[in-house]
Structure 1
Amino acid sequence: MKRRSLLKLGTMSGALAVAGRIPFAHADTGSGPIKVGVLHSLSGTMAISETSLKDTALMTFADINAKGGVMGRQIEPVVVDPASNWPLFAEKARQLLTQDKVAAVFGCWTSVSRKSVLPVFEELNGLLYYPVQYEGEEMSRNVFYTGAAPNQQAIPATEYLMSNEGGGAKRFFLLGTDYVYPRTTNKILRAFLNAKGVQDADIQEVYTPFGHSDYQTIVANIKTFSQSGKTCVISTINGDSNVPFYKELGNQGLKATDVPVVAFSVGEEELRGIDTKPLVGNLAAWNYFMSLRNPENTKFKAMFADWVKKNNLPGGSKRVTNDPMEATFVGIHMWKQAVEKAKSTDVDKVRVAMIGQEFAAPSGYTLKMDGNHHLWKPVMIGEVRADGQFNVVWRTRTTIRAQPWSPYIPGDKGKPDVVSSIPDFLRRRRVA
């Protein structure tokens, strides 16, 4: 089905349901608590990243409930643990939709988990709010993507590294976990680099399995690869493997001044248990950082700190906020606003009401939900500080419309030329 048709489905879903071409949405009882699902790994290799999203979701639901709920009704979260087991994600999603009869689900991190649950949400006409950056190449009528598409993270970060401002990288070591998101993103980036004149000999790709812990040889290979020209590492490592990777960088003395690493899946939470002093100057590309100074972020951080203390959560005062947590927070509030606009929790009505929703986010920008089910988002690049936080060194002046596709994948015809448009839409500026 063409993507244009998918967009039409987003606005015609009610008519299609009546016509019997898709399953009916869950019934809206109009009274009593509103059940919602929280679908995140609380054990296994991805727990290091996903547990905080569960905590954020529960905090946000509690705050909304304390302020009167949604249409006067309380939110009742149903939390399940797919345990970093991709087939189990689909089983838990089906349970939430058919047994618990939730109005919406907030969850998943990896693309393989999202792709595992996608057929379930499309079959049962459920709504998934997905809060993490991903490889693009998807626009489902049953998913709202509150994380970044490649043109809101990976592509501008790579161009930044190639610029004089970003160090003028000529060689690129693409290192990722072996699954959908890293491989597809790196396929896009390789084609982007080729379009910019970078030869394949100056690009190296390496993948490791989930939970991988021995990066000694890989870091040594990075050092060897970097001897032939200015090199950077683009990391799409996910989960707890980031800890041994960054520790090995420190062990082998590979500094950001020699070979900078830009990460797309490492934020404040992943660095919390690492001695970051040897990593100072390495980079991460996101749409939010905890260190941002603005009134909305001050409130967000205080709310989370209070929630951690009140519930005696592990980590206590050392807990941090990060980009996917912000995306979770924004997604829940936009769902609330859409329900209130639709005056119903009916999936088809909420889907239509979601388009155009706006929210003043902790990033300091007002984010808007586009008709392609993706948020307009800013792009930011941060440098690791000794305390595990990030100094934002570069950002876009405005939010950027997501392009959930790639003009670089063979066979993608008739798509916008992102290569030529990047200098216009980035509108770069140095941040003091």
Structure 2
Amino acid sequence: MGVSGGNSRTSEPWRVGVLFSRTGFMSVIEETQLRGTLIAIDQINDNGGINGCPIEPVIYDPGSDVRSYGQYAKRLMVEDGVSTIFGCYTSSSRKAVLPVVERLDGLLWYPTLYEGFEFSPNVIYTGATPNQNSVQLCRVLMEQFGKRFFFIGSDYIYPRESNRVMRELVRNNGGTVVGERYLRLEADRSEFMPLLRDIKRAQPDVIFSTVVGESTTFLYQAYHDLGLNPKVVPIASLTTTEAEIRAMGHDVGEGHFTAASYFQGIETERNNDFVSYYHKRYGDDEPTNMCLEASYFQVNLFARTLEQTNSLDTRHLRNSVMGAEFEAPQGCVSINPVWGHADVWTRIGRANRRGQFDIVFQSQTNVTSDPYLISYGRRFELAECA
């Protein structure tokens, strides 16, 4: 039996669940996702809420423990009477929540880039999929640095599946994967040093990283300690944001690449207002990032949809959000009605000494989501390496 959505209420708040880790090894990024969620809720409530009723978040900290995400999702739906949940960073945590929302007919809003190849009528995916980040990143790296790639990742679903996609892109375009290694999610700095020595001996042109969480900081610091040069062999990532660059040190992150739908440095009035608001609330030294921004815009899309449905019923919400648009800090985004994934922008940035990213590539508009890579070309025309 599904959870009641509280149809057509006139005075009670709209209760929603929030599941992001404020403790543990994923807190470096999930804390910012929580902030993005709460900023959006506060702004909506300050403007009168939804149809006269405020949004009330019910927040739990899973502590970076995969099982806790599923347990808290069940508590939210069974004990707290919540049917809509904003949360999760890792694919492992998403997959822990997925059977709960499918069984109890809830709706998870997932604001993180991921490996694609998934669909659920109980999930709205608002992060980038491989056709919105990996394809263009591979092209840029091959053109600027060469065709020898070394893969390094955290040992769980997302890195292995993302590397599978990147491996196909590299090989289909004449490249070679000269090595592939995985370390545990909680890997510390000492575990990266011998691995980076091996990478140095393999002489790749590019290191493609799918390391996540606090271990991201340790990877880049170990790279820096060994005296490797990002002008020659950079680390390229889909997950290293301004938050991780701040944690590792701006000098450590300088010169490395990230593909993302959003960077703080986007020069638009909408983004400038967003960044200013965030800095006023959390301090000028706290950067925004793509996961924070997706957490923010998905709550706004939810709110606009709820205003129309006046109901938290999962089926009504999902049907109504399909095709919905929002002018997000990254630019106009929409929910693709075919997949229930967001059409977001493609950008590639190179970290600078200020802890921000200089944008070296940007799509002309948002890119249609294609989580199963049905329509993308297996090969692309490459310019000559510089």
Aligned residue for 2:186? 211
Conserved? CA contact 1:34–1:102, under 8 Å: no
User: Cα offset for 1:30?
Assistant: 1.1
Aligned residue for 1:286? 260
- Under a length normalisation based on structure 1, what TM-score does the superposition of the two structures give? 0.84
Aligned residue for 2:21? 41
Question: What is the letter of the counterpart of residue 386 of structure 1?
Answer: R
Aligned residue for 1:386? 353
Aligned ranges 1:66-85 → 2 under 5 Å: 66-85=46-65
Question: What is the letter of the counterpart of residue 151 of structure 2?
Answer: L
Q: What CA distance in whole angstroms lies between the structure 2 residues aligned with 1:116 and 1:290? A: 31
Question: What is the letter of the counterpart of residue 187 of structure 2?
Answer: H
Once the two structures are superposed, residues 64-91 of structure 1 have per-residue CA deviations (whole angstroms, 9 ceiling, x without a partner) of 1000101111011111011111111100
Aligned ranges 1:7-156 → 2 under 5 Å: 23=2, 26-28=5-7, 30-31=9-10, 32-156=12-136
Local SS of the residue matching 2:294: helix
Once the two structures are superposed, residues 342-373 of structure 1 have per-residue CA deviations (whole angstroms, 9 ceiling, x without a partner) of 2322211111110011011111x211110111
Aligned residue for 2:335? 369
Aligned ranges 1:225-240 → 2 under 5 Å: 225-226=202-203, 231-240=205-214
Q: What CA distance in whole angstroms lies between the structure 2 residues aligned with 1:171 and 1:156? A: 17
Aligned residue for 2:279? 305
Q: What CA distance in whole angstroms lies between the structure 2 residues aligned with 1:261 and 1:298? A: 28
User: Cα offset for 1:216?
Assistant: 0.8
Local SS of the residue matching 2:248: coil
Q: What CA distance in whole angstroms lies between the structure 1 residues aligned with 2:325 and 2:284? A: 31
Local SS of the residue matching 2:117: coil
- Under a length normalisation based on structure 2, what TM-score does the superposition of the two structures give? 0.94
Higher relative contact order (CA 8 A, sep 6+): 2
Once the two structures are superposed, residues 81-106 of structure 1 have per-residue CA deviations (whole angstroms, 9 ceiling, x without a partner) of 11111111100001111111224111
Q: Kindly indicate whether residue 246 of structure 2 is the aligned counterpart of residue 272 of structure 1.
A: yes
Aligned residue for 2:321? 354
Seen in structure 2, the aligned counterparts of structure 1 residues 66 and 278 have a Cα distance that, compared at 3 Å, is closer
Q: What CA distance in whole angstroms lies between the structure 2 residues aligned with 1:416 and 1:291? A: 30
Q: What CA distance in whole angstroms lies between the structure 2 residues aligned with 1:156 and 1:318? A: 30
- Paired residues, number: 379
User: Cα offset for 1:203?
Assistant: 3.1
Q: What CA distance in whole angstroms lies between the structure 1 residues aligned with 2:271 and 2:35? A: 17
Q: Which runs of 5+ in 2 are unaligned?
A: none
Q: Kindly indicate whether residue 163 of structure 2 is the aligned counterpart of residue 186 of structure 1.
A: yes
Question: What is the letter of the counterpart of residue 180 of structure 1?
Answer: I
Aligned residue for 1:11? none
Q: What CA distance in whole angstroms lies between the structure 1 residues aligned with 2:97 and 2:178? A: 33
Seen in structure 2, the aligned counterparts of structure 1 residues 382 and 417 have a Cα distance that, compared at 3 Å, is closer
Local SS of the residue matching 1:418: coil
Q: What CA distance in whole angstroms lies between the structure 2 residues aligned with 1:195 and 1:250? A: 31
Aligned ranges 1:406-417 → 2 under 5 Å: 406=373, 415-417=374-376
Q: What CA distance in whole angstroms lies between the structure 1 residues aligned with 2:9 and 2:68? A: 31
Conserved? CA contact 2:15–2:55, under 8 Å: yes
Conserved? CA contact 2:3–2:78, under 8 Å: no
Conserved? CA contact 2:334–2:343, under 8 Å: yes
Question: What is the letter of the counterpart of residue 26 of structure 2?
Answer: M
User: Cα offset for 1:24?
Assistant: 6.3
Q: What CA distance in whole angstroms lies between the structure 2 residues aligned with 1:362 and 1:59? A: 13
Aligned residue for 2:149? 172
Question: What is the letter of the counterpart of residue 194 of structure 2?
Answer: T
Q: What CA distance in whole angstroms lies between the structure 2 residues aligned with 1:278 and 1:139? A: 37
